[in-house]
Amino acid sequence: MSFHTIVLVKHVPDIEKVRFDVETGRIDRSSAPGEINPFDLNAVEVAVRLKEKLGGMVTALCMGPPQAESSLRDAIARGVDRAVLLTDSRFAGADTLATSYTLASAIRKIGRFNLVVCGEKTVDGDTGQVGPEVAEHLGIPHVAYVCEVREVYDNRLVVVSDMGDKFLVEVMLPALITVTRDVCSPRLPTLRDILRARRSRIEVWDADALSGFIDISRIGLKGSRTNVFRIVIPSEYHRRGVILRGSDSVSKLVEALRMEGLI
Amino acid sequence: MFSNGVLVYSEYDEGAIHPVAFELLGKSREIADRLGVEVWGVIVGYRIGDDKARELIYYGADRVFIYDHPRLEYFDPVLYRDVLVDLVERVNPSVFLFGATPLGRSLAPRVAAAIGAGLTADCIDIQVDENGDIIQVRPAFTGNILAYIKTTSRPVMSTVRYRVMKMPNRDTSRVGEIIRLAYSLGRDSGIRVLGRISRRSVDLGRADIVVAGGRGFRKKEDLKMLEDLANLLGGVVGVSRPLVDEGWMPRERQVGFSGNTVKPRLYMAFGISGSPQHIAGMRGSEVVVAVNIDPSAPIFKIADYGIIGDLYEVIPKLIEELNRIKRG
Ligand SMILES: Cc1cc2nc3c(=O)[nH]c(=O)nc-3n(C[C@H](O)[C@H](O)[C@H](O)COP(=O)(O)OP(=O)(O)OC[C@H]3O[C@@H](n4cnc5c(N)ncnc54)[C@H](O)[C@@H]3O)c2cc1C
Ligand SMILES: Nc1ncnc2c1ncn2[C@@H]1O[C@H](COP(=O)(O)O)[C@@H](O)[C@H]1O
């Protein structure tokens, strides 16, 4: 039986480029090109290394807008074999509960797997919740903050989980892990891989494609239980903004810190 | 039975309650008084003494629930989920708060998904509005925005960042009830914790003074001056991510989005440009000092005191001045 890893990747805006409108509290997603969530590169790398060690295959799964295809092509260039994009306006507006439910439903449809790998968190949602929630929907164990995969067998893994202190944990498969940046460094795809990925097929599934696996009332905005009703963009910080230059700047700083009672 | 209380998950490890639980009890007391309900704590683990539960009461809990079992000694998200779902079913809390520690952020989503509840991650504020609705405030987009969130399911669940809520007074005259609950842990969870293999040697999140260095440092050996400065100030050394990637410092020293969130009284940044990912981890600092040769470095936008200058000149001078003060 071959080892099948499913890796969850999200398509996120490049956070260095994305613009925020201080007045309206709007995020202008069109201001920044999308890319694969940086933390998910580590998840892809772990999955691909497992394949290189054990054989088998890796499937990347992403829920997002049609443009998210580019992130899946990136994953293919880095060694993923099969890519599935969940895209449908009915999926939109999902919080972590609805997102994880949708991803779990798609995993059920994909069928047999040994392991699901997630990134530690996303740079936009930034919750780190989707992984453990997917595990719960699937009824499988999970280990979060995996910083090292020590031993791999076809029915179990031994990993190090970084919870502040580090713990050695054995987990029976199928299971889900979320990985930190320490787990491995992501490889750079070669030009050949990138060209190959450009020609590869991405399977696109809408909500109907998941019928039999999904309850439509639990997806998207309707299936969400948290509601963002206001966004504030901190425009200026309440900082003193004292700029010092010249030869006496250090003594002025020391004086100021003494006044603040800090030294 | 009683219901509707504000419930605080009280992380327990090696005989100690994580202090974020006390902060959450303080906040819960405020929320509960507004809503006219009780404050509850829950402790999950093995060999939990009544004295631990009493601490929760001193910090504001009216009742403390305990699940005590040898199989609960180490954190197992599946078994811990089992007992917490059992508790939610028994006592029907209106709000359920966790510390946004690694454990809290691994456990809370399991519980939330199991009961079909919404969950808000890493909150930095919780308010009650005029309708008695709970408002959760959290950073998102790598700290670039603050989102205000309401939850439409019950209990309202969130993980809350450590050291943002005020530590309440410890009032040893407070009384409350300690309730030990039996639960038959059934099946094998599929998880076996084989042991704690290393301890974190420093916790930047708790530091009062952080002296941080970035790519302005030219080589690893030069970080020695940073250490000397930190020692003089009674602070700890932190770094930006490139220095961790270089292998100059371990990850536990990294400040930022993919490292530690710090909230010291004094944060000093030497040779750090101030990327959004770095700022995400130190924005909550009380006083920020930045030293950078580039006057246009973004770090100056969030600095209280900025020195435009070469860290290789500034740090030795600082050390000298501080030594002089010390000598009196
Ligand atoms: C997903 C993701 C997560 C990330 N997470 C983090 C994180 O957690 N923490 C983090 O720090 N970064 C993080 N980063 C990286 C971040 O984007 C920046 O690359 C990083 O913060 C830059 O570090 P720096 O300021 O030390 O280096 P640089 O940006 O290179 O800045 C060095 C500064 O030093 C100044 N300088 C040079 N020489 C001197 C001198 N002699 N004296 C004084 N000043 C001098 C320069 O003017 C410059 O401003 C993350 C990036 C991504 C994509
Ligand atoms: N829309 C999505 N599609 C695929 N994977 C996702 C999605 N959202 C989150 N994930 C996965 O869950 C992890 C944690 O995401 P988050 O909870 O949003 O911080 C990410 O690193 C991904 O591995």
pLDDT in tens, A182-212: 999 999 999 999 999 999 999 999 999 999 9
Measured between beta carbons, the chain A residues lying within 8 angstroms of B188 are: 172
Q: What is the DSSP string of B238-285?
A: EE-HHHHHTTSS-GGGBBSTTSB----SEEEEES----HHHHTTTTT-
For residue A116, tell me if it sits in a domain. yes
Q: What is the mean pLDDT of chain A?
A: 95
Please name which of A75, A112, A20 lies closest in space to residue A187, comparing C-alpha atoms. A75
B3 SS3 class: coil
Quick one: pLDDT band at residue B1, thresholds 50, 70, 90?
Answer: low
Give the end-to-end CA distance of chain B in Å, rounded to a whole number: 65
b vs e for A119-144, b when ≥16 Cβ sit within 10 Å of the residue's Cβ? bbbbbbbbbbbbbbbbbbbbebbbbb
**For chain A, how many structural domains are there in total?**
1
Assembly ipTM: 0.96
C-alpha–C-alpha distance, residues A6 and A87, integer Å: 18
For residue A231, tell me if it sits in a domain. no
Region B26-50: mean pLDDT is 97
Quick one: pLDDT band at residue B3, thresholds 50, 70, 90?
Answer: confident
For residue A109, tell me if it sits in a domain. yes
| Chain B interface mutation, best of A21, A114, A129, highest count of B Cβ atoms under 10 Å | A129
Q: What is the pLDDT of residue A76?
A: 98
Measured between beta carbons, the chain A residues lying within 8 angstroms of B16 are: none
| Tokens found for residue A104 | 């779990």
Measured between beta carbons, the chain A residues lying within 8 angstroms of B81 are: 136
Quick one: pLDDT band at residue A233, thresholds 50, 70, 90?
Answer: confident
pTM over 0.95: yes
The CATH class of B204-327 is alpha beta
B172 Cα to chain A: minimum distance (Å): 31
- Listed in order, the ranges of chain B carrying CATH 3.40.50.620 are 6-180
Q: Which of A95, A226, A239 lies closest to B288 in CB terms?
A: A239
Tell me how crowded residue B175 is: count the other CB atoms within 10 A of its CB: 9
Answer whether residue B72 shows pLDDT above 60. Answer: yes
Q: What is the pLDDT of residue B322?
A: 95
Identify the domain containing residue A167 by its residue range: 4-218
Q: Which one of B275, B282, B302, B317 would you pick to mutate in the ligand 1 pocket, going by the greatest count of ligand atoms within 8 A of its CB?
A: B275
- Listed in order, the ranges of chain B carrying CATH 3.40.50.1220 are 204-327
pLDDT in tens, B164-177: 999 999 999 999 99
For residue A160, tell me if it sits in a domain. yes
pLDDT in tens, B260-273: 999 999 999 999 99
**Under 8 Å between Cβ of B120 and B126:** no
Q: Specify the range with the lowest mean pLDDT, choosing from A39-43, B181-185, B214-218.
A: B181-185
For residue A197, tell me if it sits in a domain. yes
Q: What is the mean pLDDT of chain B?
A: 96
Give the end-to-end CA distance of chain A in Å, rounded to a whole number: 65
For residue A159, tell me if it sits in a domain. yes
Please name which of B124, B144, B118 lies closest in space to residue B136, comparing C-alpha atoms. B124
**Under 8 Å between Cβ of B100 and B159:** yes
pLDDT in tens, A89-140: 999 999 999 999 999 999 999 999 999 999 999 999 999 999 999 999 999 9
Q: Which of A127, A128, A260 lies closest to B287 in CB terms?
A: A260
pLDDT in tens, B133-152: 999 999 999 999 999 999 99
CATH number for the domain spanning A18: value is: 3.40.50.620
Answer whether residue A30 shows pLDDT above 90. Answer: no
Residue B168: cis peptide before it, omega within 30 degrees of 0? no
- Strand runs (DSSP E) across chain A, as ranges? 4-8, 11-13, 19-21, 26-28, 34-36, 57-63, 82-86, 115-119, 142-152, 156-163, 165-172, 175-179, 203-205, 226-232, 242-244
A201 Cα to chain B: minimum distance (Å): 31
The CATH class of B6-180 is alpha beta
Rg (CA), chain A: 22
**Closest Cα to atom 47, ligand 1: which residue?**
B294
Burial (CB count within 10 angstroms: exposed 0-12, middle 13-18, buried 19+), residue B183: middle
Quick one: pLDDT band at residue A22, thresholds 50, 70, 90?
Answer: confident
Total beta-carbon pairs less than 8 A apart between chain A and chain B:
243
Quick one: pLDDT band at residue B58, thresholds 50, 70, 90?
Answer: very high
Residues of chain B above pLDDT 70, percent: 100
Q: Which ligand 1 atom is nearest residue B259's CA?
A: 8
For residue A149, tell me if it sits in a domain. yes
Q: Which of A15, A172, A253 lies closest to B142 in CB terms?
A: A15
Quick one: pLDDT band at residue A24, thresholds 50, 70, 90?
Answer: confident
pLDDT in tens, B117-136: 999 999 999 999 999 999 99
Answer whether residue A23 shows pLDDT above 80. Answer: no
Q: What is the pLDDT of residue A238?
A: 80
> What is the number of residues in chain B?
328
A228-232 contacts at long range (C-beta below 8 A, 24 or more positions apart): A228/B147, A228/B148, A228/B149, A229/B148, A229/B149, A229/B150, A230/A25, A230/B147, A230/B148, A231/A25, A231/A26, A231/A27, A231/B145, A231/B146, A231/B147, A231/B148, A232/A25, A232/B145, A232/B146, A232/B148
For residue A254, tell me if it sits in a domain. no
